[in-house]
Amino acid sequence: MWHPDPVTWAQVDRGELLGRSGEDPWVRWTTTGEVLAVAGEDGWACVGPWRPGGAHWGRPLEVPDGYQESGSGRWDFLWTRELPDPPGPPAAVAPVELDDVRHAEEIERFGRGHNPDFEGFPGRGLASLWLGARDRAGSLVAVGAVHDLASGIPHLAGIVVEPACRRSGLGRWLTAELTARAVREAGVSTLGVYSDNDAALRLYDGLGYRTAHGWHTRSLAVVDRAGTAAYD
């Protein structure tokens, strides 16, 4: 029986990975010199830090002992180098910068209360900036953050707008302001968005973001001795 020649894969450094991938935006903006990469005739794969102290795997992996899958999601990785001209916020709200530690509980409560999948991670030292808006009563009506990836590139995260304030221009102002600050700082802004969030994708497209890749991410939960998922 005839078999095709096996694909030959070889380990490559980040510089060669950039060349082999055609300056892929994911490789360019999210990887560091710590990346472990291989490339062959039919493609490339890599593993390296995503957030400081974290990792992103570029190939399917088996669930390790002591863990179980707790969820999955499809999301797009977007980037832009365009500097937007942020519109002013709606007149009924006041912009405010928040502290990652001092306001962590308030941010988490607001974000989780309006989005069960909230991924701002306040209080963990990941955010270099939290920007929000308060109504006239002083309550939060919007939040969003700029995280620093392991590569040092800014990444927008945890953007949430209270449902009653949506379609008021608040979300566009917040996202544009965060994007402008990121681009002024690093020349680029990146973000992740669930692939089925059409409204957010339209907003990001209008601000100059382009989709580099669509990913399928699986979450893991630690399993205790009784076989129950303890935490993510």
pLDDT in tens, the chain (232 residues): 444 555 688 999 999 999 999 999 999 999 999 999 999 988 999 988 888 854 443 334 566 677 776 656 788 999 999 999 988 999 999 999 999 999 999 999 999 999 998 999 999 999 999 999 999 999 999 999 999 999 999 999 999 999 999 999 999 999 999 999 999 999 999 999 999 999 999 999 999 999 999 887 766 777 766 555 444 4
Question: Which residues, at least 6 apart from 158, have a Cβ–Cβ distance to it below 8 Å?
Answer: 107, 111, 118, 119, 120, 121, 122, 127, 143, 144, 145
pLDDT of res. 63:
64
CA contacts within 13 A on the Cβ side of 179: 26
pLDDT of res. 94:
97
Q: Is domain 76-214 given the CATH code 3.40.630.30 in the classification? A: yes
pLDDT of res. 232:
46
Query: Tokens standing for 85?
Result: 């001209």
Phi and psi of 116, rounded to 5°?
Answer: -60, -20
* Contacts within 8 Å (CB) and 24+ apart, 213-217: 213/25, 213/26, 213/76, 213/77, 214/74, 214/75, 214/76, 214/77, 215/74, 215/75, 215/76, 215/77, 216/72, 216/73, 216/74, 217/72, 217/73, 217/74, 217/75
pLDDT of res. 217:
74
Question: Which residues, at least 6 apart from 108, have a Cβ–Cβ distance to it below 8 Å?
Answer: 118, 120, 122, 123
pLDDT of res. 12:
96
* Residue 49: count of CB within 10 angstroms of its CB: 17
pLDDT of res. 117:
87
Assess contact for 70 and 232: CB atoms under 8 A: yes
pLDDT of res. 173:
97
Consecutive H or E run containing 116:
none
pLDDT of res. 221:
74
Residue where the block lists tokens 């040092």 = 152
pLDDT of res. 34:
92
Domain-by-domain residue ranges, the chain?
10-61, 76-214
Give SS3 for 164: helix
pLDDT of res. 42:
86
